[in-house]
Amino acid sequence: MKKESIYGLTLDQLTAWLMEHGHKKSRALQVWDALYRKRITDFAAMTEVHENCVRLLEEHFSIETLEEHVKQQSADGTVKFLFRLQDGNLIETVLMSHKFGLSVCVTTQVGCNIGCSFCASGLLKKSRDLSSGEIVEQIMKVQLYLDKERPGDRVSHVVVMGIGEPFDNFVNLSDFIRVIKDHKGLAIGPRHITVSTSGLADKIIEFADSDLHVNLAISLHAPNNEIRTRIMKINRAIPIEKLMQAIDYYLDKTNRRITLEYILLKDVNDGKEHALELAELVGHRRNLANVNLIPYNPVDEHSQYQRSESESITGFYDVLKKQGISCSVRLEHGVDIDAACGQLRSKQIRKDAQGSRNSEREAIS
């Protein structure tokens, strides 16, 4: 029988669970310390925890539920992990090195239903949400890799920008954030955690009203409804006007800066006229918004989209700057490996399917 991942419990939930089972409150802190500070991955090795408690935990929980299936390392220090979940599904997690620290990009769903037309991940429909434990464990697996390969280094930043729409898995996302920012555990600062959404307006409002207080990024990708609907079908249900209302609510409520993500697609949304339209759309929000321009990483599955010429990227950036919009161009990571989100996973799934077809053929012949 598959057991629940212990990483899915917040410290409050773990404390309540242990107390319900007859243990003292302080026991939860010992377990928490063993999991996140000592990073022990076997209950039996938690020597500071009473043996009755260890036995109880062994009966009800697992620590390791992800198995490393493939790992790709880039010359720039990026490491892409493909993990196999207990049900056989594959997910991607990426470690990136920056001047400011080490960040991890996590996945929140198996596949994605948002269906952005430029995205390799969206080709594979969502089959299920990840549990909070499966999301936390991605960070733990990367931290354990660092502990072994680069002792002393720690995951300092987290971006929820991998496969899936995080706000479509809101409860598990929230618990995940509570676990990783807990100052008695991994203690990742709230300002170092960023959640990226395709623009689920109701959830942006719920996020603003929540106690999570981490950064928000919006995948805008277009300056008007015509282009946005063409490249992101979610825009039919939640057009830009509705998205902007939710963003305004978020900004008023939190007074935190947001990031507007903008993938530059050659001859689709990368003209100077688009930059001017985008500047107008950002409008009065400019003091609390940063536009992050993302040069597109072409994927075989979407050959209709190409990367913008470097002059177009610079031209777009210059127009925004002239209009007083704070903006940056995202640095690329892992260009020598499968850099686009979901690319490694979809390649591997095709490879695995081909492998099993070949073995079926061999078995028949």
Binding of ligand SF4 by 163 (CB under 6 A)? yes
Q: Find out whether 297 is annotated in a ligand binding site.
A: yes
Binding of ligand SF4 by 165 (CB under 6 A)? yes
Q: Which one-letter amino acid corresponds to residue 114?
A: I
Which CB sits closer to ligand SF4, 112 or 204? 112
Selection from 81, 96, 59 nearest residue 137 by Cα: 81
Sketch the per residue contact string, 171 through 210, with ligand SF4: x for CB under 6 A, - otherwise. ---------------------------x------------
Query: In whole angstroms, what is the distance from residue 235 CA to residue 203 CA?
Result: 15
Binding of ligand SF4 by 260 (CB under 6 A)? no
In the complex, minimum distance from the CB of residue 170 to ligand SF4, in angstroms, rounded to a whole number: 14
What is the number of residues in the chain?
365
Q: Find out whether 327 is annotated in a ligand binding site.
A: no
Q: Is 144 in contact with 41 (CB distance < 8 Å)?
A: yes
Q: Is 124 in contact with 346 (CB distance < 8 Å)?
A: yes
Which CB sits closer to ligand SF4, 242 or 286? 242
In the complex, minimum distance from the CB of residue 125 to ligand SF4, in angstroms, rounded to a whole number: 10
Q: At which residue do the structure tokens 């170092």 appear?
A: 192
Which CB sits closer to ligand SF4, 112 or 251? 112
- Kindly state the number of chain residues that form the binding site for ligand SF4, as judged by CB under 6 A: 11
Which CB sits closer to ligand SF4, 8 or 111? 111
Residue in 77, 115, 271, 298 binding ligand SF4, rule: CB under 6 A:
115
Cβ contacts of 271 within 8 Å, gap of 6 or more: 312, 316
Instruction: List Cα–Cα distances, 121 to 12, 247, 265, 276, 294, in angstroms.
Output: 34, 25, 17, 30, 17
Structure tokens at 328: 């940056």
Residues paired with residue 70 on neighbouring β-strands, in sequence order: 82
Which CB sits closer to ligand SF4, 115 or 298? 115
Selection from 40, 102, 95, 103 nearest residue 71 by Cα: 95
Burial of 218 per CB tally in 10 Å (0-12, 13-18, 19+): buried
316: three-class secondary structure by DSSP: helix
Binding of ligand SF4 by 110 (CB under 6 A)? no
Q: Is 22 in contact with 40 (CB distance < 8 Å)?
A: no
Residue in 40, 46, 82, 114 binding ligand SF4, rule: CB under 6 A:
114
Residue in 82, 112, 186, 289 binding ligand SF4, rule: CB under 6 A:
112
Binding of ligand SF4 by 119 (CB under 6 A)? yes
Which CB sits closer to ligand SF4, 6 or 130? 130
Binding of ligand SF4 by 261 (CB under 6 A)? no
Q: Which one-letter amino acid corresponds to residue 184?
A: K
Q: Find out whether 162 is annotated in a ligand binding site.
A: no
In the complex, minimum distance from the CB of residue 115 to ligand SF4, in angstroms, rounded to a whole number: 6
By annotation, the residues acting in catalysis are: 92, 341
Q: Is 286 in contact with 324 (CB distance < 8 Å)?
A: yes
* Residues within the interface to ligand SF4 (CB under 6 A): 112, 114-116, 119, 121-122, 163-165, 198
Question: Residues comprising the binding site for [4Fe-4S] cluster?
Answer: 112, 116, 119
Question: Residues comprising the binding site for S-adenosyl-L-methionine?
Answer: 164-165, 196, 219-221, 297
